[in-house]
Structure 1
Amino acid sequence: MVLKAQSPQPQNDTIKNLKVNVLPVVFYLPETGLGYGVLGLSTFRMPGEEVTTRPSSVQLGLTFTTKKQFLLFVPYELYFDEEKWRLRGELGYYKYFYNYFGRGINSDAENEETYTADFPRFRLAAYREILPRFSIGLGYEFDGYHVLEPEPGGLLDNSNEIGKEGGTISNIGLLALYDTRDNIFFPTKGWYLEGSFYKGATWLGADFGYTKFEFDARYFKKIKEKQVLAANLFFGTRSNNTPFQDLNYLGTKRTRGFDNRRFLDNTELSLTTEYRFPIWKRFNGAFFGSASTVSPSIGDVFSTTYRGAVGGGLRYVINKEEGTRLRVDYGHSGQGGQFYFTINEAF
């Protein structure tokens, strides 16, 4: 379903080019039972912004399951003052199950167990452009893990993991961003380089005083008409006193093809490449491959085992003007395979 509200002569004090897309979601997993909900995306331009600037966007994910689990997440990215200001983050509430296999790239799949977490989430990153396409900013992260239920007597319950009894993550951070992409939803050329450093803020209610650093590098190049090569290099590391909920792990959108949180540890290094191509009218396709690892420390990341994954998928363009699309992917690794159904590209 697509709703469109656009005035022929938009005023500077009103939202412009508002488009809303809403889709039903139905799935079944043994851990959740039947799940159902909605997935939505709205794109628009803030009051005073020209139609030639990048669009702001707000997504919505709302899911219920027959086993009384609940997901609500609202990621957002807003642009102001001719793109000189950018706000990005998420509002959410999660009552859901998560996997735990133990730590390390060689953790045993037979150790798999699940735990239930119940927590609100808030993310906010505010960037100000100080040079063309280069911005600096401040960030804040909050997760309130007040209810955490590991399997009694299980691997997690008997571990020394920090945060296994719950607690509050409350981090403040410094951010730097260089972004020359031609489109934020479907880039065909340009760079996206972001570095961030976060530290637990006990004066803001944090129960964990850890630090973390991340560097996210993406490159996009058009090779033929509507054909794009994309690459994503990610490096992230945490201090030893990090709660296990916020450790680096494989199974994200960067590393499709692994069970969520299949391999988890302090440090991650991953490289994903993707070939994106048109198929027919609004339908597009992609093939991707990745190599990635996690390790206890930065030094170990260059000498440890790397895990590979490959896959492909379909995209359906729901908004030709902005480039927004639905994405269905299947990724396969030595650990098995996973399907992904969501909005917009993985990176």
Structure 2
Amino acid sequence: MKAQNQSKGSKRFTVRDSTKNWKISAFPVAFYTPETAFGFGGLGIGTFRLKDETFDTRPSSIQLGISYTTKNQFLLYAPFDFYKDDEKWRLEGELGFYNYFYNFFGVGIDSKEEDEETYEVTFPRARVALLRELFPRFFAGLAYEFDAFYNLKVEESGILEASDVPGKRDGTVSNLGVVAVYDTRDHIFFPTKGVYIQGKLFSSSKIFGSSFGYVKYELDSRYYQKVGKKQVVAANLFLGSSTEGTPFYDLYYLGSKRTRGINNRRFQDNTELSLALEYRFPIAGRFGGAVFGSTGTVASDLGKNS
């Protein structure tokens, strides 16, 4: 492994050949949800530093996850983060392919639990954002989202088939937008302190190859604070809103990772406002636990959130 000490003003730092700087971890994955039944698979994470990057630079990473469920669902996803030029440039995103079931209860905060049904859809996914550091820890740049939904299967005579929501006959989501990020976290995967604030503004148009025309924006803020030696308190405040014409599979919803403990997509609409709190603590060795709570609401537009 090649190493070279160089001076940068009065500061000395080490540069390594990143091709020999890989760290790879692999984990089994097992889960159960009402719509998927049992699922199993694996997740691999590779971290490294690009060539000529210092050890002060946050490591780049590539993940690869594969899951299969007892209802013949398939998930393949590969999130990635690359850091270059002492973190002045940041490339992040995800590539994936999904054949999956999702819940549908209707649209709006007044949807009824007894109306629950599922729909099946297949789609490739691409997410990519190229960001440049403009100020210390503050990044801004362009982003793109792509989902090509096809082979959509809904329940006969169900509420989704009877509804007039955009997208129930398949369609392509192709969104171009801008992203701004302020990130002071001490670690990408397991932060113990710092904040992460991300703002997004996207436009979907036939000019970009989309089947739909709408605009959406998001504000995702997260806070991490270490308490004691190994305990961490985390908080997440999220606001997202989109205009009329948003396909139902791109609506905001409660029951995501932000609002755990709620049936997936139990409430969905054009706007979401949610808050989650979590207390993380060690148990023994590599095992840890978490206590969490969340609350949120959805509405047809921002002015109706309460």
> TM-score normalized by structure 1?
0.80
Listed as ranges, the gaps of 5+ residues in structure 2 are 5-14
What is the CA distance between 1:9 and its match in structure 2?
A: 4.2
Task: Sort the Cα spacing of 1:111 and 1:290 in 2 relative to 1 into closer, same or farther, 3 A.
Answer: same
Q: Which residue of 1 aligns with 2:300?
A: 296
Q: Which residue of 2 aligns with 1:86?
A: 90
Task: Sort the Cα spacing of 1:269 and 1:32 in 2 relative to 1 into closer, same or farther, 3 A.
Answer: closer
1:1-347 paired onto structure 2 within 5 Å: 7=1, 9=3, 12-27=16-31, 31-32=35-36, 35-302=39-306
Cα distance in structure 2, aligned partners of 1:295 and 1:226: 38
What is the CA distance between 1:8 and its match in structure 2?
A: 7.2
Tell me if the contact between 1:16 and 1:46 (Cα under 8 Å) persists in the aligned partners: no
Tell me if the contact between 1:16 and 1:45 (Cα under 8 Å) persists in the aligned partners: no
> TM-score normalized by structure 2?
0.91
Tell me if the contact between 2:139 and 2:180 (Cα under 8 Å) persists in the aligned partners: yes
RMSD: 1.9
Task: Sort the Cα spacing of 1:221 and 1:197 in 2 relative to 1 into closer, same or farther, 3 A.
Answer: same
Moved more, 149-158 or 179-188: 179-188
Cα distance in structure 2, aligned partners of 1:159 and 1:251: 22
Task: Sort the Cα spacing of 1:103 and 1:30 in 2 relative to 1 into closer, same or farther, 3 A.
Answer: closer
Cα distance in structure 1, aligned partners of 2:16 and 2:217: 39
Tell me if the contact between 1:272 and 1:289 (Cα under 8 Å) persists in the aligned partners: yes
Match for 1:48: what amino acid? D
Tell me if the contact between 2:2 and 2:16 (Cα under 8 Å) persists in the aligned partners: no
Moved more, 90-99 or 23-32: 23-32
Cα distance in structure 1, aligned partners of 2:224 and 2:34: 38
Task: Sort the Cα spacing of 1:297 and 1:31 in 2 relative to 1 into closer, same or farther, 3 A.
Answer: closer
Q: Which residue of 1 aligns with 2:11?
A: none
Tell me if the contact between 1:16 and 1:47 (Cα under 8 Å) persists in the aligned partners: no
Match for 1:146: what amino acid? Y
Cα distance in structure 1, aligned partners of 2:16 and 2:225: 35
Q: Deviations over 1:302-328 (max 9, x none)?
A: 2xxxxxxxxxxxxxxxxxxxxxxxxxx
Cα distance in structure 1, aligned partners of 2:34 and 2:302: 36
Q: Deviations over 1:36-85 (max 9, x none)?
A: 32222222222222222211111222123454321111111111111111
Task: Sort the Cα spacing of 1:69 and 1:222 in 2 relative to 1 into closer, same or farther, 3 A.
Answer: closer
Cα distance in structure 1, aligned partners of 2:27 and 2:173: 32
**Aligned length in residues:** 296
Moved more, 50-59 or 18-27: 18-27
Task: Sort the Cα spacing of 1:202 and 1:115 in 2 relative to 1 into closer, same or farther, 3 A.
Answer: same
